[in-house]
C-alpha cells in the first residue's frame, strides 16, 4: 500500500486543525526553548529517583559541545540526542503542509550544529563522543547509539521532504555508512543489535525514500541478528571488563531487550513496551516489502497477545514501571501501570503497518482507540505540559505518599529529564494526515474519519464531518473510477450508507467496499451511543467495574467535578440516561457526560473494618469527560473504571 504525502492531505477538521495549530504555534517553539535551556522550566525526573537526570534538558548544548562550539560536559540521558531529532522531525512534518521561513531558519540553525558535531567517519552520538569515546558500539545493551541514529534518519527524511534541504539527510547517510561498516555478518563486524530498537523501522523508511536496497538489507540484518546469539550482550560486557574499558557489569535481562530469541520466533509481547513495539513496527515494515512468512507470523502473534491480553481500554500498554514493560496476560492494574505515551504511539505505528499488509478492521479499531485516548492524553491542552505515564486511576494523596507510584505524575510536568514522549507526541500528532488515507493501485482506503481533502494523482476526495463529535460523514469524490474501502466503527450503532454516483459493492463484517465514479457522493450516518464497557473477567483489576465510552473516546471522571469520587458506583443499565453536552471549556471543546450514579455514604465509624455493614447510598450525578482531557484543571483524583451496581441477580 502507498501512503500519501502530508502535502496531499489538507485537514479541515476543527478538532485536528486545533491540534496542528497548537503543535506549530505552541509546542514546537516551546520545545525548542526547552531543548536550548532558554527558559526556566521544571524539568522533572520521570520517577522518584535522585540519580536520574533532571533540572534541565541540555540536549542542544550537548551537540554544541561535541561540535566544539561550547565548552562543558554532556548532561542528561545517553539518548538525549534523540529529543532534538524528534523535534526536527516535528518541524519537518509541519513544514510539509505549510511553509514557515522563521521556523525553517530555526531548524536550519539546529541542523548546522548537528552537522558540526558529526565526526569525520560519520559517527554521531554526543554521549559517547563526549564521555566514553572508547566504548562506541561496545555497550549496545544500553547505548542507544542506533536508536538515536534511527531518530536522526526519521528527522532527516521529514526535513528533506519538507524543505528539499538535504544537509541532515547527508549527516544521517554518513552515520548509516559508519554503522553499515561496523555491523553485519562479515568477519570483524559486530553481530548484534542496539538494545533499543528504532533503527530497523527508520532504515526501511530510508529505503523507501532513496530506493537504495542496502538500507532494507541493513534493517533486515538488525532484526535477524537480535537474539541470534543470546549471549551477545554478556560477551560484550565481559570484553569491556577484560579490556579495562568499563567496570560496568549489569544483569542483562534478555526479555526486557526482546533478545531471548530471534524476533521471527517471538510469540508474545514481553519486556520494555516501546522497544517491543518499535521492533514489531520494523518487522511489519520489512514483511510488507520483502515478505517473510515467519516474521509475519511473529508480528501476528505479538499483535494478538497485545490486543487480546495486554492492552488497556485507552490503548495504553506497559503494565509496570519496572522495565517500563509488558507483564503477563490480563495483568492491567489501573493505578500503578506505565502506559507510556511513546508506547501508545508505537502501538499506533504497529497497527498501521499491519493494516497495510492486511486491511482488517481490528487494526483501524486499535489505531482509533489509542489515538483518541492513550496518545492525546500525553499532552496538555496548552501544548506545553506532558505526561510520560498515562494512568487510568489517580489518587493524588496516594501518588504523593506511596513511592510505588513515584512514576505516576498527578499533573503533566513542564518537561522531563527523560523527554522521549513530548517530541514524540509532537511529531506523531503533527503528522496525523498520514494515517487518514491509503492507496493500493486503484483502491482507496479511508482509515480515520477526519474532515480533510485528499488530492491524488487523478482524483480529489473530500471528507466533510464534525467527527469525533458528530455521527455523519459526507464523502465527495471527483476523478477516475476507483474502489473505496470504509469501516464501520466498532462502537457505532445502526450505520446507514447512502450513495450517489457510487455503489456499495460489499459489506463484510464492518468493512465496506464502495464503487466510486466521478461526482460520487456518499453519506454515512451512525449512532454514537454512550456505552458501558466491561473487561474480560480475567482482568482482575476491572472485575465488577464498568468504563464509559462514547464514540472513540473513553471517558473519565475527576474529583474536581465530582467530590468523593471514590464513593461513586455506576449502573451500566442506566448509561443510556447519560446527558451529553458538547461544550467549550477553557481546555477545549468536548462532549461531557452527566450520568446517574449511586454515591455510597461514608462510614460513620472510624474503624477500618466492620462486620455486617449495610451500605447506604444516594442517587447522584457523575460528570465525565473524555479521558485525554483529564489533568487540565489542576491536581485532582481521576478514575476510568467504576465499581458497578449489578441489580439483576437471579
Ligand atoms: O530509552 C529511550 C526511551 O526512554 C524509551 O523508549 C522510553 O521508554 C524511555 O525509557
Ligand atoms: Zn516516551
Is residue 435 classed exposed, middle or buried when 0-12, 13-18 and 19+ CB atoms within 10 A define those classes? buried
78 lines ligand 1 (CB under 6 A): no
Model confidence at 588, pLDDT cuts 50, 70, 90, reads confident
Q: Report the C-alpha gap between 201 and 207 in whole angstroms.
A: 10
Flag the least confident range among 38-47, 82-91, 130-139, 392-401. 38-47
**Do the beta carbons of residue 568 and residue 557 sit within 8 Å?**
yes
Instruction: Give me the phi and psi of 621, to 5 degrees please.
Output: -115, 145
- The pairing of strands 443-446 and 482-487 is parallel
Per-residue pLDDT for 650 more than 80?
Answer: no
If one counts every other C-beta atom within 10 angstroms of the C-beta of residue 115, the result is 16
The pLDDT of residue 50 is 86
79 Cβ inside 6 Å of ligand 1: yes
- Residue 486 cell numbers, joined: 470504509
* DSSP class per residue in 44-82: E-SSS-TTS--S---HHHHHHHHTTSS-S---S-TTTHH
What's residue 49's pLDDT? Answer: 85
Query: Could you tell me if the CB of 420 is within 6 A of ligand 1?
Result: yes
Residue 238 has pLDDT above 80, yes or no: yes
Ligand 2 centre and the CA of 47: distance in Å?
13
* Catalytic (active site) residue 324: yes
Query: Per-residue pLDDT for 647 more than 70?
Result: no
Tell me: pLDDT of 249 over 60.
yes
How far, CA to CA in Å, does 226 sit from each of 26, 76, 260, 272, 367? 40, 27, 8, 15, 27
Q: Beta-strand (E) ranges in 572-629?
A: 579-585, 588-600, 617-626
Q: Are 148 and 86 in contact (CB under 8 A)?
A: no
CA dihedral 143, 145, 150, 153 (to 10 degrees): 160
pLDDT tens profile 456-504? 999 999 999 999 998 999 999 999 999 999 999 999 999 999 999 999 9
Please give the Cα distance from 348 to 341 (Å, whole number).
11
**Residue 53 banded pLDDT, cuts 50, 70, 90:** confident
Q: Report the C-alpha gap between 125 and 82 in whole angstroms.
A: 9
Exposure b/e, 565-598, CB count within 10 A at least 16 = b: bebbbbbbebbeebebeeeeeeebebbbbebebb
Q: How far is it, in rounded angstroms, from Cα 231 to Cα 316?
A: 32
Distance from the CA of 10 to the center of ligand 1, in angstroms? 32
Largest CA distance in the chain: 77
Cα separation, 50 vs 147, in Å, equals 25
Is the pLDDT score of 646 beyond 80?
no
pLDDT beyond 90 at 312: yes
Q: Is the peptide bond before 468 cis (omega within 30 degrees of 0)?
A: yes
CB atoms under 10 Å from CB of 284, counted, come to: 28
pLDDT band with cut points at 50, 70 and 90 for residue 54: confident
Ligand in nearest proximity to the CA of 275: 1
Q: What is the DSSP string of 204-259?
A: HHHHHHH--HHHHHHHHHHHHHTTTSTTHHHHHHHHHHHTTS----PPP-TTTTT-
Name 591's bridge partners: 582
Cell 461526482, residue located? 519
Ligand 1, from 274, 278, 282, 344: best to mutate by most atoms within 8 Å of Cβ? 274
* DSSP annotation of 142: T
Residue 256's CB is within 10 A of a number of other CB atoms, namely 21
Residue 533: per-residue pLDDT: 98
Question: Could you tell me which of 396, 407, 402, 321 has the C-alpha nearest to residue 49?
Answer: 407
Q: What is the mean pLDDT of the chain?
A: 97
Q: Which three cell numbers stand for residue 174?
A: 554518513
| pLDDT tens-digit map of 590-622 | 999 999 999 999 988 889 999 988 889 999 999
Q: What pairing do the DSSP bridges indicate for beta strands 617-626 and 553-558? A: antiparallel
Per-residue pLDDT tens digits for 264-305: 999 999 999 999 999 999 999 999 999 999 999 999 999 999
Ligand 1: atom nearest CA of 274 is: 6
47 lines ligand 1 (CB under 6 A): no
Residue 445 · residue 485 · CB < 8 Å: yes
pLDDT of residue 329: 98
Q: Which of 324, 362, 368, 393 is catalytic?
A: 324
CA pair distance 185, 44, nearest whole angstrom: 42
Position in ligand 1 atom list of the atom nearest CA 342: 6
Query: What does DSSP assign to residue 449?
Result: -
Using DSSP, how many helices (H) and how many strands (E) does the chain show?
17, 24
- The rounded distance, in Å, linking the Cα atoms of 431 and 379 is 15
How much distance in Å is there from the Cα of 324 to the middle of ligand 1?
8
Q: Is the CB of 324 under 6 A from ligand 1?
A: yes
Say which DSSP state 540 is in: G
Tell me which residues have their CB within 5 A of the ion that is ligand 2: 340, 342, 420-421
389 Cβ below 6 A of ligand 1: no
Cα separation, 96 vs 118, in Å, equals 26
Q: How far is the CA of 420 from the centre of ligand 2 (A)?
A: 4
Asked if the peptide bond before residue 244 counts as cis, ω within 30 degrees of 0, the response is no
- Cβ of 342 closer than 6 Å to ligand 1, yes or no, is yes
The 10s digit of each residue's pLDDT in 89-102 is: 999 999 999 999 99
Amino acid at each position: 500500500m502507498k501512503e500519501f504525502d502530508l502535502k496531499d492531505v489538507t485537514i479541515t477538521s476543527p478538532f485536528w486543525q486545533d491540534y496542528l495549530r497548537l503543535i506549530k504555534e505552541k509546542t514546537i517553539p516551546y520545545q525548542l526553548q526547552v531543548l536550548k535551556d532558554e527558559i526556566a522550566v521544571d524539568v522533572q525526573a520521570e520517577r522518584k529517583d535522585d540519580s536520574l537526570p533532571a533540572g534541565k534538558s541540555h540536549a542542544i548544548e550537548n551537540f554544541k559541545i561535541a561540535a566544539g562550539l561550547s565548552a562543558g560536559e554532556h548532561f542528561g540521558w545517553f539518548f538525549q540526542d534523540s529529543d532534538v531529532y524528534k523535534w526536527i522531525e516535528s518541524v519537518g512534518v509541519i513544514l510539509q503542509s505549510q511553509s514557515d521561513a522563521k521556523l525553517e531558519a530555526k531548524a536550519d540553525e539546529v541542523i548546522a550544529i548537528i552537522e558540526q558535531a558529526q565526526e569525520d567517519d560519520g559517527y554521531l552520538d554526543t554521549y559517547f563522543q563526549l564521555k566514553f569515546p572508547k566504548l562506541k558500539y561496545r555497550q549496545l545493551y544500553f547505548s542507544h547509539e542506533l536508536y538515536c541514529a534511527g531518530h536522526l534518519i526519521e528527522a532527516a527524511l521529514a526535513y528533506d521532504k519538507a524543505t528539499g534541504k538535504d544537509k541532515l539527510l547527508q549527516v544521517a547517510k554518513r552515520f548509516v555508512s559508519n554503522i553499515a561498516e561496523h555491523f553485519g555478518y562479515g568477519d570483524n563486524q559486530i553481530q548484534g543489535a542496539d538494545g533499543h530498537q528504532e533503527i530497523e523501522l527508520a532504515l526501511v523508511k530510508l529505503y523507501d525514500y532513496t530506493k537504495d536496497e542496502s538500507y532494507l538489507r541493513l534493517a533486515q540484518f538488525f532484526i535477524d541478528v537480535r537474539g541470534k546469539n543470546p549471549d551477545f550482550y554478556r560477551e560484550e560486557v565481559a570484553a569491556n571488563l577484560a579490556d579495562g574499558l568499563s567496570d560496568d557489569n549489569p544483569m542483562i535481562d534478555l526479555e526486557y531487550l526482546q533478545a531471548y530469541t530471534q524476533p521471527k520466533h517471538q510469540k508474545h509481547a514481553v519486556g520494555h513496551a516501546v522497544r517491543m513495539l518499535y521492533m514489531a513496527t520494523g518487522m511489519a515494515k520489512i514483511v510488507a516489502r520483502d515478505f517473510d512468512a515467519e516474521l509475519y507470523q511473529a508480528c501476528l502473534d505479538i499483535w494478538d497477545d497485545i490486543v487480546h491480553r495486554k492492552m488497556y481500554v485507552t490503548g495504553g500498554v506497559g503494565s509496570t514501571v519496572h522495565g517500563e514493560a509488558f507483564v503477563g496476560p490480563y495483568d492491567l492494574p489501573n493505578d500503578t501501570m506505565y502506559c507510556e505515551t511513546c508506547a501508545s504511539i508505537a502501538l499506533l505505528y504497529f497497527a498501521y503497518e499491519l493494516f497495510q499488509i492486511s486491511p482488517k478492521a481490528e487494526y483501524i479499531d486499535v489505531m482509533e482507540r489509542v489515538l483518541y485516548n492513550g496518545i492525546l492524553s500525553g499532552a496538555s491542552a496548552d501544548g506545553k505540559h506532558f505526561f510520560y505515564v498515562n494512568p487510568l486511576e489517580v489518587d493524588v494523596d496516594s501518588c504523593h505518599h506511596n513511592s510505588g507510584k513515584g512514576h505516576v505524575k498527578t499533573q503533566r510536568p513542564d518537561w522531563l529529564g527523560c523527554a522521549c514522549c513530548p517530541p514524540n507526541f509532537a511529531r506523531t500528532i503533527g503528522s496525523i494526515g498520514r494515517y487518514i488515507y491509503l492507496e493500493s493501485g486503484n483502491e482507496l482506503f479511508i482509515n480515520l474519519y477526519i474532515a480533510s481533502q485528499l488530492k491524488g494523482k487523478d482524483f480529489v476526495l473530500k471528507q466533510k464531518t464534525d467527527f469525533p463529535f458528530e455521527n455523519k460523514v459526507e464523502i465527495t469524490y471527483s476523478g477516475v473510477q476507483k474502489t473505496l474501502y470504509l469501516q464501520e466503527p466498532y462502537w457505532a450503532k445502526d450505520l446507514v450508507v447512502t450513495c450517489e454516483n457510487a455503489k456499495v459493492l460489499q459489506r463484510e463484517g464492518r468493512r465496506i467496499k464502495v464503487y466510486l465514479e466521478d461526482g460520487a457522493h456518499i453519506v454515512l450516518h451512525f449512532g454514537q451511543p454512550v456505552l458501558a464497557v466491561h473487561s474480560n473477567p480475567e482482568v482482575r483489576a476491572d472485575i465488577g467495574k464498568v468504563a464509559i465510552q462514547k464514540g472513540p473516546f473513553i471517558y473519565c471522571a475527576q474529583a474536581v467535578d465530582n467530590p468523593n469520587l471514590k464513593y461513586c458506583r455506576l449502573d451500566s443499565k442506566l448509561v443510556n440516561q447519560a446527558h451529553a453536552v458538547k461544550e467549550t471549556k477553557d481546555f477545549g471543546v468536548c462532549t461531557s457526560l452527566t450520568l446517574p450514579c449511586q454515591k455510597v455514604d461514608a462510614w460513620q465509624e472510624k474503624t477500618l473494618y466492620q462486620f455486617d455493614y449495610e451500605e447506604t447510598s444516594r442517587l447522584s450525578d457523575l460528570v465525565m469527560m473524555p479521558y485525554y482531557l483529564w489533568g487540565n484543571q489542576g491536581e485532582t483524583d481521576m478514575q476510568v473504571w467504576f465499581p458497578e451496581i449489578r441489580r439483576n441477580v437471579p
